[in-house]
Structures are given as structure tokens and as C-alpha cells.
Amino acid sequence: MEFKGRDIISIRDFSREEIDYILEIAKSMEPLASKGSDMLKGKILATLFFEPSTRTRLSFEAAMYKLGGAAIGFAEAEIASVKKGENLADTVRVVENYADVIAIRHPLEGAARLAAEFAEVPIINGGSGAEEHPTQALLDLYTIMKEKGKIDGLKIAFVGDLRYGRTVHSLAYALSYYDVELHLVSPESLKMRREVLEAIKEKIPVKEETSLEKVVPISDVLYVTRIQKERFPDPAEYMKVKGSYKITLETLSKAKKDSIVLHPLPRVDEIASEVDQTPHARYFKQVWNGIVTRMALLALILGAVK
Ligand code: CP
């Protein structure tokens, strides 16, 4: 297994063995995330975020600092020279002179792949339109492993916007490497993208549903997503599905006692705040897991961990 110098564009760039290894390294980063390390001293991460982000950008930057490195970058295209007409290819060819690794978020599908074609340094996809969010999938798997002690054998339900939600695309591909049963709960108009569905159905049992009530009692993991208002071509279509599902105390009264609720965040109204205090809620723990998973990825890609 060789990670040094690799791009992370799609979760499908990794095998199951490689994913399991990344999760192991993430676990070994837990003490370093608290006490710090100089493993990446002298290394620089550039974060080029052309779309809003709180968790992905800040956790990548925090992960770099915790390993002794540094981070530079921009959080909106308005303040970068793309505003003057500079294209993505030129932007990464310039930034690679300043940084050892680049994490990029872009509204266009394929943007991270394009950046990787032009850059000599590794490119990490921090979210490419509605397509993929591979590092989110890795931290989601790490969270499931940490909270449930395993991934194989679980019944996992995705709830919400499965068409435009990029996190569920990457996570579905990743889970298809494992022995899981996947339940996809969404409104008709927000069903899982066909190419993802076809790929995962070849490997694991998948059931599409519109009723949340049916899947709550059998699920070990409820992975809830926000309806991605910003990706709807027609606002009227968004209004039709807005608030389709809401996880409340009443919903969870029918859940398995040890089931967990995850969410990549940000949430809007799909999980009631009253759920935060229940033992099911693990979405804020997911945030911490984003740090250790991204520490592992940076250490592996920059060759500090073999
Ligand atoms: N989960 C996630 O990608 O969050 P941000 O949009 O805040 O980065």
C-alpha cells in the first residue's frame, strides 16, 4: 500500500484494505490530536475553497497545525484571483509553488479531478459539487467503527437528499466494500443518483424507501442529511420537499436502544435539537473524528506515516 503523493478525488480511488488502514492510522492520531506532534513540520497545506465550508476547511487546517505543519488558502472565490478571470488549472499551478498538498472544494463536479491533472502536488477533494466528498466518507466510517465497534453486519439507513448530497454518494461507495444492508430513505425526487445505485447494488443489499417509520426500528445507524437547497435548479422543487423528514424524540422512541444518529452537518431542521441530548446523537462526535481522519490522510499522503 502506497499513499505518499496520492490524490484523493473519489473514495473509489481506495480499496477496502486501504480504507481499513486509513481508519487504523486515524485511531493512532487520537493522542496526537490532543497533545500535538511535529510530524509535518515544514509542510504547508493550501485550502482552496470556492464554496462555503466550516468543518472541512477548518478541520483540514487544524489537522495540519496539530501535526506541526502550516496552512494557507482562501475560503471564497471572491477574494482570489479567479475573480479576475484566472482559471482553476492556472490557480493550482500557481498554488503548488507555495504548498505541499492542496485541499479543494468547488461547486462543479469534476473540478477536483481537473485540478489533479494540472498539479504536481497531491490534490484532496473537499467536496465537488453534488458528486463526492471522499474525506467525509472516511470520517463517517471512522465514526461508525468507533461508535459501533464494527462496520460489517450493520443495517444502515440514509435519510434525506440522496440526489444532491455528495456525502452520501461517497459513503455509499465506501460502504459497498463492507457487509452491510443499506436502506435509502428519500422523497421520490431526491432518490439516490442512478450511477451510484447501480454500482452499489452489485455488491450489497440496497432497498429504496420513502417511509422513515419503516426503517427506524431496524437501523443500527441513521445517517441523516440536509436537503441541499443550493443545488436545486428550481426553487419551487425545493419547496415541495423541504422538511420531508425530521428526526425527533418521537421518531427515536421506535429506534433500537443502541442505534446511532449521524449527520455530516450543517443541519437545518432535519434533526430536532431535543435529539442532541439523547445517547443516539453522535453527530458532534463526528466533527472531532474529522480532525483525526484528516490528520491520518495528511500524514499518509505527505509520507510521514507509511
Ligand atoms: N460536512 C461538511 O462538509 O461540512 P462543511 O460544509 O462545513 O465543510
Which of 50, 51, 136 to probe ligand 1 with, by most ligand atoms within 8 A of CB?
A: 136
In 3D space, the residue among 218, 214, 215, 223 whose CA is nearest the CA of residue 258 turns out to be 218
pTM over 0.85: yes
Active site residue 84: yes
* Residue 6, in any domain of the structure: no
State whether the beta carbon of 226 lies less than 6 angstroms from ligand 1.
no
Instruction: Report the atom number in ligand 1 closest to the C-alpha of 105.
Output: 8
| pLDDT at 40 exceeding the cut of 90 | yes
CB 193 within 8 A of CB 170: no
Rounded to the nearest integer, the mean pLDDT of the chain is 95
Same domain, 158 and 77: no
Beta strands in the chain (DSSP E): 44-49, 70-74, 101-106, 123-128, 155-159, 181-185, 206-209, 221-224, 260-262
Residues 24 and 142 both lie in one domain: no
Range of the structural domain that residue 85 is part of: 11-131+290-301
Domain-embedded: residue 1: no
Backbone angles phi, psi at 208, to 5 degrees: -95, 135
Q: What is the pLDDT of residues 206-228, one digit of tens each?
A: 999 999 999 999 999 999 999 98
Q: Same domain, yes or no, for 261 and 139? A: yes
Same-domain status, 167 and 112: no
CA-CA-CA-CA torsion for 89, 95, 101, 104, nearest 10 degrees? -50
Tell me 152's DSSP state.
Answer: T
Nearest CA to ligand 1 atom 4: 55
**Count of the separate structural domains present in the chain:** 2
280-291: average pLDDT: 98
For residue 175, the SS3 value is: helix
Q: For ligand 1, atom 1, name the residue with the nearest CA.
A: 264
The domain that contains 87 carries what CATH number?
A: 3.40.50.1370
Together in a domain, 108 and 146 = no
Annotated active-site residue 293? The verdict is no
- 233 and 273 in a single domain? The answer is yes
Q: Is residue 3 situated within a structural domain?
A: no
Residue 42 lies in a domain: yes
CB atoms within 10 A of CB 147: 16
